[in-house]
Amino acid sequence: MKLTLNIWRQKDKNSKGQFENYNLNEVSPDMSFLEMLDVLNEDLLHKGDEPVAFDHDCREGICGACSMTINGRPHGPEKQTTTCQLHMRKFNDGETITIEPFRAKPFPVIRDLIVDRTSFDRIQQAGGFVSVNTGSSPDSNAVPIAKVAADKAFDAAACIGCGACVAACPNGAAMLFTSAKIGQFALLPQGQPERKERVIAMVKQMDSEGFGACTNHYECEAACPKGISVEFIAMMNRDFMKASFSR
Amino acid sequence: MSSYNPFNSTIFNKVIMAGTGVILVLFVIGHMVGNLQVFLGADVFNTYAHFLKSTGELLWIMRLVLLLCVVLHVYTSLKLKFLNMKARPEGYSVTSYVKSTLYSRTMIYSGIVIFLFVVYHLLHFTAFVTNPEYADYSENYGPVLQSSGMIDHSGNIIQVTEGEGIFDRHDAYKMVITGFNKPIVAIVYILAVLFLALHLSHAIQSMFQTLGWSGPKTTPRLMLVSKLIGWGLFVGFASIPVSVLIFGLGKGVIG
């Protein structure tokens, strides 16, 4: 496959970035998107140019590191797939692919395609945990939890914190991430004692990071590599209002 | 935590948008049902208009509630729009949307158009500023029996006045027919309700989501309901200027 890549290059947080064009002539359709970028970087290194900086870690779709916007979609065109699990066979020979970093004020670009997502860590640290040590895992069925609740909590817990929801949202809102991190506890007995404090504290942190407000476009749900439902945003709204009025 | 006011949060602002939206949508549905009485003739329509005007304090309470809703809805939407613009200072060079629609992404613009239209609509058919002659349109109705009475503290009727006569009321029917006989006015009204339909096609489902009612089965249904109400209102409202302008509804009342 021959490809033209239009990639955002930016030296550091304070520099102004711009797009650069690169041509690749021997891309295998079986390569993953990141392997294709590795090939590009080897080419650049041989030529003595700076390689393109991008985030990656597990390369098996579970860590959420590989943040980039491919042709206007975070993680690219494939549904419920991270960039590392996207294969070049999904693109056409001769195609031009535009690769940009995730764009949001709370996700400043550090270099090229790498953004600083520590704002997510701070939201998580504001209350995305259970304060008491619950010890080793309890005997199965010792704490009765309805199957429906357990499944739903697990759906929320599938969030890998990649930030695609923010990147896809026309408003740069982080409500899908925050609601998933709240929702995974709100449905389980372990999450109940701190339920109100948690939702208030995490929404407060989300707002103070400078994320936008949800206007229900549902682009986040479409971009989420784990297919997390906007249902959790509605649940967070409900919990937040209840907690605000009962403080 | 003491310095944080949850009522300043993004979520509470969204709830204000949704809450005021619910009241405004209910009003608009009622307004359309009321307006459709124009097809039942001048007498029915003027009786309805006269009834609305005769509700006194209730009318003003209603108007104040609606005014408050409009002010809050517009103010909050602008506040959130600026917040959202700040959240992405540098945009994408390529955008590709999956679930959002053109009208969901242009709510602020359809909203501004609707707001400007409401101002014009009030100056036109309510305050008669654009057409002062509408205030003088009146018609006689009757004969009708009007009676009033007083009762004393033990419940006996002590004073009854009864009278049958011909009374005078504003001819709202003639006003509407005259108004929509001007093609430009009719077109402005039709375009305005088109924007209302686009706005509400996203808004109604959005209100439920914000207020916490959502689910894999519920949300697609609410989206359908949203579109049905939005376009139903368009057909209902637009049918009046279309009937007047194209099908000559009420031609008899204008000379």
Q: List, as one string, the DSSP characters of B30-95.
A: HHHHHHGGGGG-HHHHHHHHHHHHTTTHHHHHHHHHHHHHHHHHHHHHHHHHHHHHHH-SS--SS-
- Whether residue B40 is contained in a domain is answered as yes
Listed by start position, the domains of chain A span 3-110, 117-131+142-245
pLDDT per residue as tens digits for the range A127-145: 999 998 877 888 888 889 9
- Complex ipTM value: 0.91
Q: A200 and B6: CB-CB below 8 Å?
A: yes
Fold entry, domain A117-131+142-245 = Fumarate Reductase Iron-sulfur Protein; Chain B, domain 2 (1.10.1060)
CATH code of the domain in which B36 resides? 1.20.1300.10
Please tell me the distance from the alpha carbon of residue A243 to that of residue B86, in angstroms, as a whole number.
28
**How is residue A201 written in tokens?**
């504290």
* Distance of residue B85 Cα from the nearest chain A Cα, in angstroms: 7
Amino acid of residue B144? V
B255 pLDDT higher than 70 = no
Average pLDDT over residues B24-44: 96
pLDDT mean across residues, chain A? 96
Query: What averages of pLDDT result for each successive group of 10 residues across chain A (247 residues)?
Result: 97 95 96 97 97 97 96 97 97 97 98 98 97 83 91 97 98 98 95 96 97 97 97 97 90
Average pLDDT over residues B205-224: 93
Per DSSP, A32 falls in state B
Nearest CB partner across the interface for A238, out of B6, B107, B212:
B212
Nearest CB partner across the interface for A215, out of B96, B97, B107:
B107
Average pLDDT over residues B9-32: 97
B150 pLDDT higher than 90 = no
Residue B254: predicted pLDDT: 76
Q: B84 and A234: CB-CB below 8 Å?
A: no
B3 pLDDT higher than 70 = no
Residue A39: predicted pLDDT: 97
Average pLDDT over residues B108-133: 95
Query: Which residues of chain B lie closer than 8 angstroms to A219, CB-CB?
Result: 97-100
Residue A48 CB partners (closer than 8 Å, separation 6+): none
Please tell me the distance from the alpha carbon of residue A229 to that of residue A235, in angstroms, as a whole number.
11
| A225 at interface of B, judged by CB pairs closer than 8 A | no
| A95 at interface of B, judged by CB pairs closer than 8 A | no
pLDDT band at B160, cuts 50/70/90?
confident
Nearest chain B residue (CA) to A17: B90
| B194 at interface of A, judged by CB pairs closer than 8 A | no
* Distance of residue A146 Cα from the nearest chain B Cα, in angstroms: 18
**How is residue B31 written in tokens?**
């307004």
| B216 at interface of A, judged by CB pairs closer than 8 A | yes
Please tell me the distance from the alpha carbon of residue A91 to that of residue A85, in angstroms, as a whole number.
14
pLDDT per residue as tens digits for the range B165-206: 778 899 999 999 999 999 999 999 999 999 999 999 999 999
Please tell me the distance from the alpha carbon of residue B89 to that of residue A130, in angstroms, as a whole number.
35
**How is residue B140 written in tokens?**
């006689």
Residue B56: predicted pLDDT: 86
* Distance of residue A161 Cα from the nearest chain B Cα, in angstroms: 18
Q: A222 and B98: CB-CB below 8 Å?
A: yes
Nearest CB partner across the interface for B216, out of A73, A77, A231:
A231
Residue B1: predicted pLDDT: 47
Nearest chain A residue (CA) to B103: A217
- A124, A180 contact by CB (below 8 A): no
Residue % of chain B over a pLDDT of 90: 78
Which one has a higher pLDDT value, A5 or B160?
A5
Q: List, as one string, the DSSP characters of A97-152.
A: EEEE----TTS-EEETTEE--HHHHHHHHTT-S-SS---SPPPTTSS---HHHHHH
By residue range, what is the domain housing residue B241?
6-86+101-136+178-253
Reported CATH class of domain A3-110? alpha beta
Number of domains in chain B: 1
Q: A244 and B12: CB-CB below 8 Å?
A: yes
Which of B12, B86, B208, B214 is the best mutation test for A, with the most CBs of A within 10 A?
A: B214
Q: A216 and B104: CB-CB below 8 Å?
A: yes
B85 pLDDT higher than 60 = yes
CB pairs under 8 A between A and B: 148
Please tell me the distance from the alpha carbon of residue B202 to that of residue B87, in angstroms, as a whole number.
22
Residue A140: predicted pLDDT: 85
B154 pLDDT higher than 90 = no
Residue % of chain B over a pLDDT of 70: 98
Q: B105 and A73: CB-CB below 8 Å?
A: no
Residue B215: predicted pLDDT: 87
Q: At what angle do helices A195-208 and B10-35 cross, to 10 degrees?
A: 90
